[in-house]
Structure 1
Amino acid sequence: MISRLWAKFSKSSPRPAAQPQSGNVPKHVAVIMDGNGRWAKDRGLPRIAGHHSGMKAVKRITMAADRLGVEYLTLYAFSTENWKRPKDEVDFLMKLPQQFLEIEIDDLMEKNVQVRVMGHREDLPSFTIKALDEAMSKTANNTGLVLTFALNYGSRKEMLEAIKEIAADVQEGRLTCDQIDDHVMSSHLLTRDLPDPDLLIRTSGELRLSNFMLWQLAYSEMWFTDVYWPEFSETHFEEAVQEYQRRARRYGGL
């Protein structure tokens, strides 16, 4: 019963089109881009066609976030668990950053967007790393929207590595146990240079976090929609921001 109510009130519902208020725009929006494969299957297409169409949604939502005044946009592009997928699909996914950035880098530069990547680089193909490094280098001095791709990212691995680093600091005398707090933990995470997300969006109707930013999302507002990622539009994004603006964030207080 609780899960049905949660789904009812968390998913998007039809509302008259309207622009979000100019104030109280979420500073950091994180997105779990889900449903590419199911979108393709519904159309009798191979899964990679869904991923290709999903790449177009990345451009749409980046531009929409920039237009609304969002400062940070973090997109869950590939998880540490996604390696379990068929090899041909994984190979295609590894080529997408290169394709996307080659096509869109000029527009990203024009919009003053800074590209970043967070995740575990050691398992990524060299051509993927090269494309990402070139984009990060080219946009490093941009001062607008920070667009972060979470690629080969897994929150549990991230936290375990942070805990190991903190333990080493304690063992080597750089830190005491009493000094370990939220700030110390956050400073050892891959998101150390990002504020915690204000709003999490997940597409495709799934209602879970899927090992994404488990520490950072502790007090984030969450918004779910049945819409598959390739169909996710500027209007859907605006609806999510409007819903965020209707909520009161109390962080455990009154």
Structure 2
Amino acid sequence: MSGEAKLSAPEFACPSAGEGVPTHVAIIMDGNGRWAAKRGLPRFEGHRRGVEAIRRAVRSAGELGIRYLTVYSFSAENWRRPAQEVSDLMGLLKRFVRHDLAELHANNIRVRIIGERQGLTSDIVLLLDEAENLTRHNTGLTLVIAFNYGGRQEIVGAVRALAEKVRAGTLDPASIDCDLLEQHLDTHGIPDPDLVIRTSGEQRVSNFLTWQTAYSEFLFIPDFWPDFDDAIFRAAIDEYCRRERRFGGLSARAG
């Protein structure tokens, strides 16, 4: 994994929008609380500004020609936070879906939700279902929202589903391979992330897309998530385009 990056480049390394840019960018949106604390504001204001940053990221991704954008909005571990903060985050999710869904749909954006829905309140489940159903046939950018999501939990769920099929006698254990397991993940049909960005300077993945990021490029940037804008996003894509991905093979320069 790369260390913390200072993003600056005099020229854009990718040839053009949609050419050379990553197909799938995943973002660990970190630093809302610290952004607010630095300004003497309540944590809720940091989360609210974080939602605005999501809107900017969606616009930038579409302009850059990125096909999939995944945002880590609420982890399975976030339930450990104070009850009021969890309630605030749920409220922001509801407002985002209610206020932004029509615009996302009008812009041909498809919404996918990954994560565990069991245990969520019925109103939230209905909103998540509505977002997916309304935009199901859209063909532009796919916005993947990781909500109540944990990478390890996702893998356990896939393994459990395979085990049930083995127990029912409909699956031969010898036929289980990586491709079959991937078909039982929340992200089935979505390509693995080419680039994972984490804001706020923290350098860990926090149980995010554990299976899918085996060969992703990582970029850790110092900016807090509410400050994430088009210039920062483009600089991150520029950094990605300057890297050489080898997927376990040799560099072309080595040969």
- Give TM-score, length-normalised by structure 2: 0.92
Structural mapping, 1:41-120, within 5 Å? 41-120=37-116
Question: Is residue 94–residue 125 contact of structure 1 (8 Å, CA) maintained in 2?
Answer: no
Gaps of 5+ in 1: none
What secondary structure is seen at the aligned counterpart in 1 of 2:204? coil
**Residues 88-116 of structure 1, C-alpha deviation per residue, up to 9 Å, x if partnerless?**
10001111122112222232123210111
Query: Could you tell me which of 232, 244, 247 is aligned with 1:248?
Result: 244
Gaps of 5+ in 2: 251-255
What secondary structure is seen at the aligned counterpart in 1 of 2:118? helix
1:28 corresponding residue in structure 2 = 24
Change in CA separation of 1:19 and 1:123 when aligned onto 2, cut-off 3 Å: farther
1:124 corresponding residue in structure 2 = 120
The ranges of structure 1 where at least 4 consecutive aligned residues each deviate by more than 6 angstroms after the TM superposition are none
2:132 corresponding residue in structure 1 = 136
1:13 corresponding residue in structure 2 = 7
Q: Does residue 237 of structure 1 match 2:242? A: no
- 1:139 deviates by 1.5
2:253 corresponding residue in structure 1 = none
Structural mapping, 1:175-190, within 5 Å? 175-190=171-186
Number of equivalenced pairs = 248
Question: Is residue 21–residue 242 contact of structure 1 (8 Å, CA) maintained in 2?
Answer: no
Question: Is residue 26–residue 69 contact of structure 2 (8 Å, CA) maintained in 1?
Answer: yes
Which residue identity is paired with 1:80?
A
CA RMSD across the alignment: 1.6
- 1:180 deviates by 1.3
- 1:14 deviates by 3.1
Question: Is residue 7–residue 232 contact of structure 2 (8 Å, CA) maintained in 1?
Answer: no
Aligned-residue identity in percent: 47
- Give TM-score, length-normalised by structure 1: 0.93
Change in CA separation of 1:169 and 1:245 when aligned onto 2, cut-off 3 Å: same
